[in-house]
Structure 1
């Protein structure tokens, strides 16, 4: 509570506060409130936006690309590349997801995240966190069902449901589609993905098996035992073993002169 030396001073202060509130609510003239003004530096140029003013919308995320010469379903990139793609199924505790992203960024690595739609519903801020870190974001179906065994209409709804959420959050349906609960999409699911706007389906040729929680050392062995230039690696958010494996895994990749890049970068000539 503010204290004033006498009643008259207190009344004057109260009136000044009320007048200021009225001015803020109604503007300086009659009619609609005036638009917020941008603060200006001494030079007269716009400087900082007034607190509470709307921030500019972030740029839209990249859209899917077609890669001529690549099959509909891609399991790895060119074998003569020094890049590898670490791809993560986007689900689970967002704190563990942020920890994986932080470890990747600390090492200068960029990853590809295939997000589940229900996870984006629960944690919509993660979409922008992934993109702001320089990574790419794609579609891993809406509910992570066994998509190859679903009827056509339901399988298509699983793809488009997640695509709609990505579009709403980022302005794009995402860079890639990966089928759920399977390494490879059925011919029908491949066609449905293309109908939904994804020229390619993203598979992988290295499985970390981190979702079995085998321990960080086993995750590293599973990856480094078969990885090579051009590999696409399957990993998952939501597992502490994966977080613990990230620093030594990235160090081993660097020792082998392999760079962790996004899948789009891996396939770009």
Structure 2
């Protein structure tokens, strides 16, 4: 698997800078970025056009509309055997990289909903995720309680992370998930659509790994509830999640369940 230095990613993306983020279901911290105003997601600035030429093919696969599906998606088709493992993207990049390697060794592809400030501090992770065949999406810029914010502040959180993704990869990312909330309010769902995301990605299986209950509890918490079509919520940045992942992947395999990206799950 190729690795990219911070300098490599900054050169290909046209530049990026640095900080980190949390609340219910994630980790804390972060410093305010400069706010970004509305812009059409289809209009790429010159730096982003340069990034898209150098980016892997997966980077250019942006949000898709799935006719017949609700705007807020909690799970995929139940008749199939596919499941989506989704990771909230923040925390120690060494743990994140170890999680990605473990998934790849098992032939699994995951969906990462990244916090914008995490991408500012570790821009090389955007390329690492996409080069592994995984999906990269939007989990707001600073991981504030987005559903409790006024409309303009909530939109700024969504848009700023979308802009960060666009500068790094050439697109705004594949999915949006609200920060500090399992589901989006109607207002936040509308703001996400305005920012270019036709659907909000929720989940039906919560691993509670952010509570650090231990690898066995994380593994059993997933395997006890997962079924065909499930979307599982997990987190980078927790050593227990990394330790639990081999058991989760093995348990899915034994049940004939196949971990895929969320887009592949919804396309099945």
Q: Which residue of 2 aligns with 1:76?
A: 75
What whole-Å deviation, never above 9, does each CA across 1:32-58 have from its counterpart, x for those lacking one? xxxxxxxxxxxxxxxxxxxxxxxx712
Quote the offset at 1:81 in angstroms.
Answer: 1.2
Query: Which stretch has the larger CA shift, 60-69 or 89-98?
Result: 60-69
Q: Which residue of 2 aligns with 1:267?
A: 266
* 1:187-226 aligned within 5 A: 187-226=186-225
Q: Which residue of 2 aligns with 1:93?
A: 92
Give, in whole Å, the separation in 2 of the partners of 1:166 and 1:142: 10
CA contact (8 A) 1:83 1:266 kept: yes
TM-score by length of 1: 0.79
* 1:58-137 aligned within 5 A: 58-59=55-56, 60-137=59-136
Quote the offset at 1:61 in angstroms.
Answer: 2.7
What whole-Å deviation, never above 9, does each CA across 1:5-29 have from its counterpart, x for those lacking one? xxxxxxxxxxxxxxxxxxxxxxxxx
Unaligned runs of 5+ in 1: 1-55
3-state SS of 1:88 partner: strand
Q: Say what the alpha-carbon RMSD is for the aligned residues.
A: 0.8
CA contact (8 A) 1:160 1:196 kept: yes
Larger Rg: 1
Give, in whole Å, the separation in 1 of the partners of 2:54 and 2:230: 35
Q: Which residue of 2 aligns with 1:238?
A: 237
Give, in whole Å, the separation in 2 of the partners of 1:169 and 1:125: 9
3-state SS of 1:226 partner: coil
Unaligned runs of 5+ in 2: 1-52
CA contact (8 A) 2:55 2:170 kept: no
CA contact (8 A) 2:158 2:195 kept: yes
Give, in whole Å, the separation in 1 of the partners of 2:55 and 2:216: 38
CA contact (8 A) 2:83 2:258 kept: yes
| Greater RCO (Cα-Cα under 8 Å, separation 6 or more) | 2
TM-score by length of 2: 0.79
Give, in whole Å, the separation in 2 of the partners of 1:247 and 1:168: 33
3-state SS of 1:114 partner: strand
Give, in whole Å, the separation in 2 of the partners of 1:162 and 1:257: 36
Runs of 4+ in 1 over 4 A off after TM superposition: none
Q: How many residues align?
A: 214
Q: Which residue of 1 aligns with 2:144?
A: 145
